Chain A
Amino acid sequence: MKTLHIVNKSPEQARFGRCLAAFDRDDQLLLTENAVIAAGVASLELPTHCFALEADLKARGLTSGASVVSIDYNGMVKLTVEADRVICW
């Protein structure tokens, strides 16, 4: 089962950790809203398949870095369409 986890909470929030604790190796992670801060937190280890909303990164003056793929809302739709299951944390 291909799962897309969408998280909108800052990495310091417990919900963010709860999302990662439910994350299986081959799942995908999409950072939206305040969660995109995670893309700029060096100490935070993010999963291999990690995406972030470009508009949210730009709004906060961040760039995605090498390990996170920046996508637009159309890209977000594509990810949700391709996933068997979407969990919004």
Chain B
Amino acid sequence: MSNLTVPAPSAEKKESKIGAIWRAISVPVLAVVTGLIVGAIVILVSGENPISAYGALFTGSFGSPAAYVEGFSIWFSSGQTGALVRAFYPLTESLVIATPYIFAGLAVAVGFRCGLFNIGAEGQFFIGALCSAFVGYSLRGLPMIVHLPLAILAGALGGALWGAIPGYLKAKFGAHEVVNTIMMNWIAFRLSDWLLKGPMKASGFRPVTPNIAASAELPRFFPDPIRFNLGFFLALLAAYLLYWFLFKTTLGFEIRSVGANPDAAKYAGMNIIRNFVLVMVISGALAGLAGAAQVLGVDHWVGQGFSAGYGFDAIALALLGHSHPAGVVLAALLFGFLRGGATNMQSIARIPIDIISIIQGMVIIFIAAPAIIRGLYRLRGAKDDDEAVLTRGWGK
């Protein structure tokens, strides 16, 4: 991932490439390690054994070596794949969990690049999922080549709309996006409560949408129960496209300029208002795609609390990945493995899954205060030359 370094080829740089990469990732890596240590302390205090807990976390996220050996040997000897599929299940499940994280992390990251703090990924996620689900179940008889792109597009548009409103209010009135995106979250939750109880409710007792048509499902590659699907590759594609857009196009240059110094951007003839709205639309669309990927690829229906926690997780991802698409992908994989393993940890070691949130909160703090990490591990104080600006008070 050489993209993590400065994108310019620099002849005068004496530092080796490995050194440069280490400089870029040392703080995030150590922040995660320290977060895990804090988590271990919490587990210890709550009266459990952190080593066995993290052992369960590991096998839950990557699968157990013994299961792999058994799966392969059965497959070689008898050609039966059942055990092999079960062995691969945890690993693929982690990637399945990572998929919406990639989209959502990119959503917050693109906001940071423009100096906007989108805390509303959660609401945009939910609205995107509902829109995708609606297109997925209400249209019947379409061929997949039409239906699936339509359902994905609906998710992106729904999220984009939900992001565009605070973006417009920020651009037009200077209303702070932090509070407005939070308000949009709560409006999204109430709206979805109503939709799931009424207009979008499937027949039956539970407040959930009907299942989407098979023609709107993201294709899966392996036999059940493996849910790994096309969504993961779409997420990687989105990350690459966003990287290209931000760093290789004039529009991305504008967005980064507005984020780094809005006054200079205005001086250079850039339209700040247009960029604010554009970025919130892109950000919302990416968050909406996260919802679309989850509903079209994994769940196939939407219920209450569908998006719970994704918004704040996405912030952690963007911070952890330094608002760089490649970094966000790595961070999302990490979170995918953590969350994937946490379920196993809960059932085997009886550690509530919420331990992951505690670890995430700590990781955010360590990332935002690199001085703490540098102090703890006696790292040389590299100068912070990150161009992404986070927030500026309550606006004008």
A and B are interacting partners: no
**Which A residues form the contact surface with B (CB < 8 A)?**
none
**Chain B interface residues (CB < 8 Å from chain A):** none
